[in-house]
Chains A and B, each alone.
Chain A
Amino acid sequence: MPADLRDHLRSCHACDAFRAEMLALDATIHRAMRAAPLGASSGATVRRIRPAPAWRQWALAASILLATALVLGAWVLRPSDTLARDLVTHVKAEPDSWLSERHVDAAGLAQALGRAGVTLNLASDKVVYAQSCFFHGHYVPHLVLQTSQGPATVLLLRHEAVTARRVFHEGGMNGVIVPAQGGGGIAVLERTGGDVDPLARQMQQAVGWLPGEH
């Protein structure tokens, strides 16, 4: 198993659970196929089958794990696909974030941004929700902005490798992940079917990363 995949499984409950599910499924498949299928033309007794030699059973287990690792690896190492899913999961875990109507003051916004080392050249009267959330091993600003189309969630992902714009539709939300200037990415999500690109472009111009470890 690749080291980065192994590391990911340690920190990602969803992927680790998927791996466990697949191993359990494999055990069930193995049990099911231990005997011959009873076909329509068959009246014969199912015979006891001699198991494969031990080394082949190990090879089988290794192949199963390799298959699972390949699939998980393909997902893990394609950051945008799992990133979108994780973003939606995170936002869904904070349902009240969409309901806030009170503007966040400058101090509140600075607190949400500061922990992640982010600057935002944006009028704070547009921000109705601002939290510093732990996401993918780092603190990221989680903002909700009021737009002409309703509330839109913005997550500023300094530590995500985003090299191209990616649109997603997941869990009842529309979203886009765009590269940020200086690396990282910006995710914008909304729930009413509106266009998220204008806000994403605005955020690309407004967001900056402070130097240093965050």
Chain B
Amino acid sequence: MADGYNAPQRKTMRNSPPESPVLSISGRLPGANPGDPITRLFESMRPDLLRFAQWLSRDRAIAEDIVQEALLRAWRSREALKDHSAARPWLLTIVRREHARLYERKRLELVPLEDIVETHAGPALAEPDGELFALRHAIMKLPIEYREPLVLQVVGGFTTEEIARELELSSTAVLTRLFRARNKLRVICGMSTARDVADAGNPA
């Protein structure tokens, strides 16, 4: 794949009518057969991957781009996936790296903080719980160094050790970042912030 980021046409992604689940991936993967088990597997993972990418990138359109690129990479490397039960963490890892790749190229958060607006798409999706709404907004406002390990843990289900390997950090550093992320969110839930681990001598 070229170094430049070739985003798929956003017009197609944003404004297209809902597609059949089979066509949304297999139509874009070269040589993919809709009936193929691995195609179906990738397709079944797509909502999780998209949710994961959205929490990382804070923008649905960018998240769709990331997931699309990630699935392309995964498709090309599909022979490396020996155990289909390990597909989810494998794909999530590819998504995370795709996001990191894009983030490094742009050298800044993909969506400016002030542009983050969590909208309600309609009455059916109205947030019944104000605290959850505020918490989601606060999570999206977390700096990437705190948001990423939190997303990996909560959304991705990765263990501390797996997160440490992926982010090339020590386990202690990961735990510290996870703590700091949660500490920032405590206020939203009506708790006071706890003393930071830096006061206890732990590395960042």
Contacts and interface: CB of A to CB of B under 8 A. Distances in A.
Interface of A: 18, 21-22, 24-26, 28-33, 35-50, 52-53, 56-57, 59-60, 62-64, 66-68, 70-71, 74-75, 78, 81
Contacts of B195: 75, 81
Interface stretch (B1-9, B32-40, B55-63, B94-102): B55-63
B139 A38 contact: no
What 4 pairs between A and B have smallest CB-CB spacing?
A56-B157, A52-B157, A74-B200, A36-B51
Nearest to B131: A28
A26 to B, nearest CB: 7
Given A41-B61, A45-B121, A33 B155 contact: yes
Given A22-B182, A39-B58, A71 B200 contact: yes
Contact of A67 (B136, B151, B178): B178
B159 A42 contact: no
Given A36-B54, A50-B47, A67-B178, 13 more contacts: A25-B189, A33-B154, A38-B118, A40-B116, A42-B121, A44-B121, A52-B88, A53-B88, A60-B153, A70-B176, A71-B194, A74-B201, A78-B200
A60 to B, nearest CB: 5
Contacts of A52: 88, 156-157
A48 to B, nearest CB: 8
Interface in B55-97: 55, 58-61, 63, 85, 88-89
A37 B55 contact: yes
A60 B175 CA distance: 12
B125 A29 contact: no
Contacts of B168: none
Contacts of A47: 47, 50-51
Given A25-B186, A29-B139, A38-B118, A74 B202 contact: yes
B132 interface: yes
A26 B179 contact: no
A70 B132 contact: no
A29 B120 contact: no
A38 B120 contact: yes
Contacts of A59: 157, 159
Given A28-B189, A38-B119, A49-B48, A67 B132 contact: no
B25 interface: no
B117 to A, nearest CB: 5
B14 interface: yes
Given A32-B136, A33-B136, A70-B175, A26 B131 contact: no
B186 to A, nearest CB: 6
B85 to A, nearest CB: 8
A35 B51 contact: yes
B132 A28 contact: yes
7 contacts: A29-B135, A38-B118, A39-B61, A47-B50, A53-B157, A56-B157, A70-B197
Contacts of B172: 70
